[in-house]
Amino acid sequence: MARVITVGAAQLGPIARSDSRARVVERLIAHLREAKRMGCDLVVFPELALTTFFPRWYMTDQAEIDSFFEREMPGPETQPLFDEARLLRLGFSLGYAELTEQDGRPARFNTSILVDRDGRIIGKYRKVHLPGHREHEPWRRFQHLEKRYFDVSDTGFRVWRAFDGILGMCICNDRRWPETYRVMGLQGAEMILLGYNTPVHNPPAPDHDNLSLFHNQLVMQAGAYQNGCWVVGVAKAGDEENVPMIGGTQIIAPSGMTVAATRGDGDELAVAACDLDACASYKTTTFNFAVHRMPQHYGLITERKGAEPPP
């Protein structure tokens, strides 16, 4: 029997700073209903999907910062999302800011969860690659203070047996790093779910701005192909609080080909029936890690004693 997961990549348009959680959850539920009509099994929401992308502001009042975090999942405002998904028998993954306690101290993570069709959280990932900076940098048109507001992951990259396959998660900046896909690829990942918030403008490197959509596609397609897995990349897009964000939501096959994509920058669902058995064609040939991967040789040149640096 073919293992096909029909996935809905649930792109969100902008979320205003003043938008309530209830209002955002209504939009997520609208996505679930549309996904059900389209025959989906699993819906993927973006990074920090419940609020505006708050790391763009420098804040010093901890209570204000914490107002963007969830203390429980589901909580009173997110319970309706879980209820609706269970009613529709849909799984989902959701990105949010998580406030928890570790060793008697608050800990804050940029988190993504995987929820099964029964509304149970079966996987949790906390972001490894936190981009941006820690201190206020007023020269920027907007801030990117993930290093200030979040702790670095204590989960690492993991995979879960779910939806008849092997699924992994990562978040936004993680998608630019080959290690992200490879660590999950080495665990047999057949589908990687990821959400992102990516401004078009990159303050430290504005000359990259016109390549932002290209780089988004480049890294996700490479990650899929080089690990023989599906990649589902989902944007929070559009002009959010005067910061234009890329769209480019897409579902990529193990061949590296994009098979479904959004067209605009608003709330929009891209759907594809993803055959997990298609992974084997890559995992057992070109990217058969057991046969062709040569990690024992990768350090040879740098480890050679007295080696001259390359000209």
Positions marked active-site: 47, 127, 172
Please name every residue paired with 251 in a beta bridge, in sequence order, or none if there are none: 232, 260
CB of 202 to ligand CDV, least distance (A): 6
Out of 74, 80, 131, 188, the only residue in the binding site for ligand CDV (CB under 6 A) is 131
Number of residues that bind ligand CDV (CB under 6 A): 11
CB of 80 to ligand CDV, least distance (A): 26
Query: Of 177 and 289, which has the nearer Cβ to ligand CDV?
Result: 177
| Only segment of 11-19, 191-199, 221-229, 286-294 that touches ligand CDV (CB under 6 A) | 191-199
CB of 117 to ligand CDV, least distance (A): 29
Q: Identify residues 204-243 at the interface with ligand CDV (CB under 6 A).
A: none
197 binds ligand CDV (CB under 6 A): yes
194 binds ligand CDV (CB under 6 A): no
Distance CA 158, CA 270 (A): 25
Q: Identify residues 143-162 at the interface with ligand CDV (CB under 6 A).
A: 144
CB of 291 to ligand CDV, least distance (A): 33
258 binds ligand CDV (CB under 6 A): no
Query: Of 45 and 287, which has the nearer Cβ to ligand CDV?
Result: 45
126 binds ligand CDV (CB under 6 A): no
Q: Identify residues 29-68 at the interface with ligand CDV (CB under 6 A).
A: 47
| Only segment of 38-46, 64-72, 168-176, 232-240 that touches ligand CDV (CB under 6 A) | 168-176
Query: Of 46 and 123, which has the nearer Cβ to ligand CDV?
Result: 46
245 binds ligand CDV (CB under 6 A): no
8 binds ligand CDV (CB under 6 A): no
Residue recorded with tokens 């509304």:
119
Judge contact between 7 and 274, C-beta under 8 A. Answer: yes
Residue recorded with tokens 């900076």:
133
Query: Of 140 and 293, which has the nearer Cβ to ligand CDV?
Result: 140
Choose among 203, 223, 220: nearest CA to 287: 223
Which pair of structure tokens corresponds to residue 53?
């992308």
Between CA 100 and CA 237, with CA 109 as vertex, the angle to 5 degrees is 130
Give contact residues for ligand CDV (rule: CB under 6 A).
47, 131-132, 144, 172-173, 176, 196-198, 202
